[in-house]
């Protein structure tokens, strides 16, 4: 399993603490430094069963600069959203855990982390 984190994020640190407490075997990806490509974002979205706007941090300054709240949320706009996430990884919700069964979860709660561990 892999976990996408921002080390400055308390939810990410919490998720790592829980993974360690459970003895999980995982790889850390600091996604602000090791930025996911558009294709990787598409793959994670498929694993999550979500759309790009579902994992976008619209409260970030860059989201306001881009006017994301005004962007359409439809199939025709999907590529635009994905390109924005790849260009501005700070917009990606965190942490994201890719589970061993091919699924993924946005692991902002202990329950979500445990859900990923059970897969």
- pTM confidence score: 0.93
CA distances 107 to 3, 18, 49, 68, 100, Å, are 9, 11, 14, 23, 15
Classify 32 as helix, strand or coil: coil
Helices 38-48 and 78-87: angle between axes, nearest 10 degrees:
120
Q: Does the annotation mark 9 as catalytic?
A: yes
Predicted local distance difference test score (pLDDT) of residue 30: 97
User: Residue 50, Cβ neighbours under 10 Å: how many?
Assistant: 14
* Residue ranges, the chain, pLDDT below 50: none
Which listed residue (9, 24, 28, 50) is catalytic? 9
pLDDT given for residue 119 in this prediction:
86
């Amino acid at each position: 399993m892999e976990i996408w984190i921002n080390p400055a994020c308390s939810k990410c640190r919490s998720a790592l603490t829980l993974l360690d407490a459970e003895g999980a075997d995982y790889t850390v990806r600091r996604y602000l430094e090791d930025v996911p490509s558009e294709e990787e974002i598409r793959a994670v979205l498929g694993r999550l069963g979500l759309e790009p706007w579902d994992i976008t941090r619209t409260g970030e300054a860059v989201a306001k600069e881009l006017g994301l709240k005004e962007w359409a949320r439809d199939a025709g706009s999907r590529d635009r959203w994905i390109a924005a996430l790849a260009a501005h990884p700070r917009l990606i919700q965190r942490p994201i855990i890719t589970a061993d069964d091919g699924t993924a979860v946005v692991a902002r709660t202990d329950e979500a982390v445990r859900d990923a561990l059970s897969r």
